[in-house]
Amino acid sequence: GAKWTYTGPDGEDHWYKHYPFCRGPFQSPIDFEPELLRYDPTLVPVEVRNYNLSSHEQLTLSNNGHSVQLSLPPRMQLSGLPHLYSAVQLHLHWGSPSLPPGSEHTVNGRRFAAELHVVHFNSDRYPNISMAADKSDGLAVLGVLIEIGEFNPAFNQFLKYLNGVKYKDQRIQISAFNIRGLLPAHLNEYYRYDGSLTTPPCYASVLWTVFKNPVTISEKQFLALATSVFSSSQQESAPVVLNGNYRKPQNSENRIVLVSFQE
Ligand SMILES: NS(=O)(=O)c1cc(-c2ccccc2)cc(-c2ccccc2)c1
Ligand SMILES: [Zn+2]
């Protein structure tokens, strides 16, 4: 598809020119402001299945020029949602060394350092991700807010390989690990709303679950993420560092955000 960036002439205010849904309804991310939140006692804890992958298995870590992503096997599943969802990939959004906050969702205006997205598709209804990606009940994404603090050994299971995917379109095989370790300890407290992909083509096809409790990575781990990855390919003369790869909060259009917790 057409090229898009986070700043400049192809930045987010121009995405709609090639990707019309980016100017449509139900766009993500949004700011979780108190007036939008409604406690829903029927929201059960998120259940993850087969997230504890064996280190004998390999996953593809790649740089798509907009983020670093890790391929995930479809036997990794989400239950406790309206349908069964199978994992596809995970990726990150982050800030920059000079301006660390780079999460996509914000909580009452607070932007976190980074955000992890674990993307799944509705495998009850669709045979594969391509058939699901543009359907209103097609995708479920887990959002994990990340702040700078304690070193996180789980994140290091893939951050330690970033130098292998420095440039756009590079990909390497890495040993699989327990993906559950990337999520917060408790999966019972989260924000839930209907939204979209936060990147082009911006399909309004995502059931969002953003956990209330952030996880931490260390300053050093954050800097590795914010300085090791380029949006440019190895052939290009001038390397362009990839950071600040987050979309600004979208109009919540009076959407209600269900929460599984009471303050
Ligand atoms: N941020 S996100 O969660 O809404 C998202 C989901 C998917 C996605 C992935 C597989 C199937 C369907 C949707 C892809 C991206 C993406 C990020 C960077 C560059 C290009 C695409 C981002
Ligand atoms: Zn994302």
117 is known as an active-site residue: no
ω into residue 184 within 30 of 0, thus cis? Answer: no
**pLDDT score, position 67:** 97
> In percent, how much of the chain has pLDDT > 70?
100
Query: How many angstroms separate the CA atoms of 182 and 91, rounded?
Result: 11
How many A from CA of 66 to the centre of ligand 2? 10
CA distances from 169 to 61, 68, 118, 233, 246 (A): 10, 10, 20, 7, 20
CA 251 from centroid of its chain's CA atoms: 19
User: Does the pLDDT value for residue 24 go beyond 90?
Assistant: yes
Diameter over CA atoms, the chain: 55
C-beta of residue 84 within 8 angstroms of C-beta of residue 76: no
Asked whether this complex has an ipTM greater than 0.90, the answer is yes
Element (H, E) at 107: strand 106-107
Q: For ligand 1, say whether the CB of 66 is within 6 Å of any of its atoms.
A: yes
Nearest residue by C-alpha to atom 19 in ligand 1: 66
Quote the ligand 2 centre to 238 CA distance (angstroms): 26
Q: Find how far residue 256's CA is from the centre of its chain.
A: 21
Task: Tell me how crowded residue 235 is: count the other CB atoms within 10 A of its CB.
Answer: 8
Residue 230 has pLDDT above 90, yes or no: yes
Over residues 10-19, mean pLDDT? 98
- Summarised one tens digit per residue, pLDDT across range 40-98 is 999 999 999 999 999 999 999 999 999 999 999 999 999 989 999 999 999 999 999 99
| pLDDT for res 254 | 83
Q: What is the pLDDT of residue 215?
A: 98
The mean of the pLDDT values for the chain is: 97
Read off the pLDDT of residues 185-218 as tens digits, 9 standing for 90 and up.
999 999 999 999 999 999 999 999 999 999 999 9
Q: What percent of the chain is predicted at pLDDT more than 90?
A: 95
Say if residue 243's pLDDT is above 90: yes
Whole-number pLDDT of residue 131 = 98
Start-to-end CA distance of the chain, whole Å, equals 43
2 pLDDT exceeds 90? Answer: no
